[in-house]
Amino acid sequence: MSREQRAKIDAMLRTARPEGPQPVEEIRSGFEAMMATMIVPDGIRTTTVALGSRRTLLVEPRGRSPHAGTILYFHGGGFVYGSPETALSLTGNLVARTGLRAFSPDYRLAPEHPFPAAIDDALAAYRGLLDAGEDPSSLVFAGDSAGGGLTVTTCLAARAAGVPLPAAIVAFSPGLDGTRSGESMDTKAGLDPFFTRESLAHTGAMHLAGQDPNQELISPALHADLTGFPPMLLQVGTNEVLLDDSTRMAARAREAGVDVILDVTAEVPHVFQAFAGVLDEADQALDRAALFLTQHLGTAGTPAASVS
């Protein structure tokens, strides 16, 4: 672990954080510019495909057939910004470390498409993989931030629709409480270099469009019935205002009899895994996530089925 690495990233994020609410176009362009500086691993190739009627980025190991098993990856961005491309350092690292392929759908964003558009698109992408012949036992959901929340809410939507659940869930710094009522919203306010309560309220209002956040598809850490859920890995940093989204979800999972790993790393920011290659803790966390995936999918086997 490197205190110097963590300090540099903290300073960079604080410098990049704008003062006051920004127009959505500026939020999107600023986030895209920041994420373009992240290191994307060698040894992967990307292709644009259609999945569930949405443009989707297919990420595969370069120079070899992917192992049996597929990651459905949901990018972060508060349901307002971000894209499959902004999450490529994360998706690419999971693919490079596991040999699995990943599909990352470009789900619709607020304010143009508020709740529940993202969940609808995520479920449609999952159905698309199942319709193409994928076995749910060979599929895992992964995602970061808002996309980490989608790993849970898409499972809830799938279960409600009678669709079988995936083999496992991996969530990096997931957003799981639209009410923003966790104690860490206040106790970590000065430590979090990325989010403030005000910035989350600004984008949250776009996503909710007046809907009550006290419902399981918006605040699953408070209201979701997780009975029958697949094993979950929740990774989060101690310097996050969203820390308690993960701690409360882990407690809820345990109460429901779900296998859950709450993986907390000290003194790192929101979605610290994106800093792979420059932050030791990021690479270590991604190694743990890759191990979790391979344990629950079993990566030996025939190449995955074709989806176009």
* Residue of 88, 260, 105, 106 lying closest to 176 (CA atoms): 260
Q: Where are the alpha helices (DSSP H) in 17-87?
A: 24-35
How is residue 93 written in tokens?
Answer: 């690292």
Single out the catalytic residue among 184, 270, 281, 296: 270
What's the pLDDT score for residue 299? Answer: 43
Record the pTM.
Answer: 0.95
> Catalytic: 296?
no
> Catalytic: 240?
yes
What's the pLDDT score for residue 1? Answer: 53
299 CB burial (10 A radius; 0-12, 13-18, 19+)? middle
pLDDT digits (tens, 9 = 90+) for 19-67: 778 999 999 999 999 999 999 999 999 999 999 989 999 999 997 776 6
**Cβ-proximal residues to 29 (8 Å cutoff; 6+ apart), any chain:** none
> Catalytic: 145?
yes
Report CA torsion sign: 293, 274, 205, 30. negative
Phi, psi angles (nearest 5°) of residue 247: -65, -40
> In sequence order, what E strands does the chain have?
44-51, 54-61, 70-74, 101-105, 139-144, 168-172, 232-237, 260-265
Single out the catalytic residue among 60, 134, 240, 281: 240
Other Cβ atoms within 10 Å of 228 Cβ, number: 11
Single out the catalytic residue among 83, 145, 184, 199: 145
Q: Which residue positions in the chain have pLDDT lower than 70?
A: 1, 66-67, 298-308
Rama region for 139: left / alpha / beta (φ>0; ψ in -120 to 50; rest): beta
